[in-house]
Amino acid sequence: MSASTSASAGTEPTEVDAVVVGAGFAGMYALHRLRADGLRVRVIEAADGVGGVWYWNRYPGARCDVESVDYSYSFSEELQQEWDWSEKYATQPEILRYANHVADRFDLRRDITFGTRVTDIVLDEQALRWEVRTGSGDVVSTRFVVLAVGPLSNANIPDIAGLDSFEGGVFHTAHWPHEGVDFTGKRVGVIGTGSSGIQTIPCIAEQAAQLHVFQRSANYSVPAGNVPLSDADRAAQKANYAERRRLSFLSGGGSPHEAHPKSALEASEEELREAYERRWQLGGVLFSKTFPDQVLSTEANDTARIFWEEKVRAVIDDPAVAELLIPKDHAIGTKRICTDANYFQTYNRDNVNLVNLKATPIESIDATGVQTTGERYELDALVLATGFDAMTGSMDKLNIVGRGGQTLKQAWAAGPQTYLGLSVAGFPNLFNMTGPGSVSVLANMVLHSELHVNWVADAIAHLDAHGAAALEARPDAVADWVQECTDRAAATLMPTANSWYVGANIPGRPRVFMPFVGGFGVYGQIIADVAAAGYKGFDVI
């Protein structure tokens, strides 16, 4: 039995059964589940509150692109029934309210240390325990470590000469001031046109006197199709929750979806148009899954691209601007498709100017503006919507030292090496949530977190039932899994884009497609089968 006495409120144990790093959706549920299983758990969180990315990403327009009914915990029927989502796609403030509600409702805060960053996680090979150190000087000894640091939590600050010298405000979308920013009457520059930029640009354009959007790569975006939920909508959702969750756990991306029952290449022109139109009207990211083979071949992908281009050109007044906003360098859906509310229409406004960095790259930034090779832009504020050092960036910042003194960073020098995304050879009892080697960012992260946490909790129960100390991935199982992930990705168009899925946005990162593309339901079955087979591929020590 792993359990020992529970820490009393307000005191911080130095000996626990599990340390969880991060109090986002995965970390909060890990605390709830492991504590319910009788473990002493300590969560360590850098922020001053729960919510993970939803604590930090407070930029105007921030909203989830997974439906709120799905992007919420399924572990408690009472929670599902009592919480009322106000919109189809929840805003960041509403998601953060939900996270806080969960923390209160399940009394999570007493076991979370806020405002504290984990710095080192070091294995004691003899004792098979981990020593976790923090920036505040705390040292915690633990048997298990659950890394719930989030695949999109380490902001990417672009390396642009003179950025530090800018005297107006500089705001990264992932570190937005809690008090908000008033752009009224200001000349604003936004660098970056990914999901964050595309969500915030229309909002900033409404406030700013002048907005210059600095675009390096054009991106595919589809209307989000957000609508308020009525009492009747909520009642229908709640009445059907059990079935909805069942379908979600079997689905490709963690929310119910049925693709058109035919290949895009077998469908007639009329059928293609009808199917795309239906999906377009519904809105949201599932447009990129309208047909089952949409990211499997260029020919199939082109059917979606052509439809998309027609739709987008139709709403942009200036054909030259439209041309710049149409991606030419990747297939639709091979980078995370963005969702928006009037993004392309924003370029019809008189106060919005698109700067094409492909033609005229930024040379430098100084106290008062941005200098490109073509022109100078005087600015009062600069927004960096430049994304994240995704998937591995947050773990790289931790000094994680496993067997033989090897760091995780060293073990992953050629790209992440995991077994099932959950475990790394040489790092016993250290589990990674929703990171590389799992479906990760290709799925609804809340249900994915539950899937992972439940698997880890069951594995711990298995160890205890067998009087074993630790679970450790075998090197051959890791090699096979990495190969399987690579092969599955290579059978699609996904690795062909210069996306953050392959680390292409961060100079020096090895080019490896990091998420498992086989689908959430398939992945769930694989990890369940491994457990049922007595943790095949693991050493049970």
CB-nearer residue toward ligand N01: 155 or 461: 155
CA distance 79 to 31: 16
CA distance 66 to 445: 9
Number of chain residues interacting with ligand N01 (CB under 6 A): 27
Give me the half-sphere count of Cα atoms (radius 13 Å) on the Cβ side of residue 155.
Answer: 18
Interface pick for ligand N01 out of 194, 254, 369, 435 (rule CB under 6 A): 194
Kindly state the smallest distance separating residue 329's Cβ from ligand N01, in Å: 9
CB-nearer residue toward ligand N01: 7 or 355: 355
- CA 172 to chain centroid, in Å, comes to 17
First to last CA, the chain: 15
**Full DSSP string of 181-192:** ---TT-EEEEE-
Q: Which residues contact 315 (CB under 8 A, 6 or more apart)?
A: 344, 345, 348
Interface pick for ligand N01 out of 68, 74, 154, 199 (rule CB under 6 A): 199
Interface pick for ligand N01 out of 17, 37, 65, 380 (rule CB under 6 A): 65
Stretch that binds ligand N01, among 20-28, 29-37, 250-258, 382-390 (CB under 6 A): 382-390
Q: Which stretches of 286-354 are DSSP H helices?
A: 298-315, 319-325, 343-346
Q: Is 279 in the site for ligand N01 (CB under 6 A)?
A: no
Kindly state the smallest distance separating residue 132's Cβ from ligand N01, in Å: 28
CB-nearer residue toward ligand N01: 275 or 441: 441
Interface pick for ligand N01 out of 72, 386, 423, 440 (rule CB under 6 A): 386
Kindly state the smallest distance separating residue 176's Cβ from ligand N01, in Å: 12
CB-nearer residue toward ligand N01: 506 or 526: 506
CA distance 249 to 251: 6
Instruction: Pick out residues in 171-190 that bind ligand N01 (CB under 6 A).
Output: 173
Instruction: Pick out residues in 208-267 that bind ligand N01 (CB under 6 A).
Output: 216-217
Stretch that binds ligand N01, among 44-52, 194-202, 429-437, 452-460 (CB under 6 A): 194-202
Q: Is 196 in the site for ligand N01 (CB under 6 A)?
A: yes
Q: What are the residues facing 268 on neighbouring strands?
A: none
Q: What are the residues facing 399 on neighbouring strands?
A: 120
Q: Is 275 in the site for ligand N01 (CB under 6 A)?
A: no
Site string for ligand N01, 488-507 (x = CB under 6 A): ------------x----x--
Interface pick for ligand N01 out of 34, 191, 304, 383 (rule CB under 6 A): 191
CA distance 464 to 473: 18
Site string for ligand N01, 137-176 (x = CB under 6 A): ---------------x-----x-x------------x---
- Neighbour-count burial for 308-332, b at 16+ CB within 10 Å, e otherwise: beebbeeebeeeebbebbbbeebbb
> Apex CA 28: angle with CA 456 and CA 180, to 5°?
145
CA distance 22 to 4: 22
CA distance 146 to 408: 14
Kindly state the smallest distance separating residue 424's Cβ from ligand N01, in Å: 24
**Full DSSP string of 471-524:** EEE-HHHHHHHHHHHHHHHHTSSGGGS--GGGTTTSTT------S-TT-HHHHH
Q: Which residues bind ligand N01 (CB under 6 A)?
A: 63-65, 152, 158, 160, 173, 191-197, 199, 216-217, 336, 339, 357, 385-388, 441, 500, 505
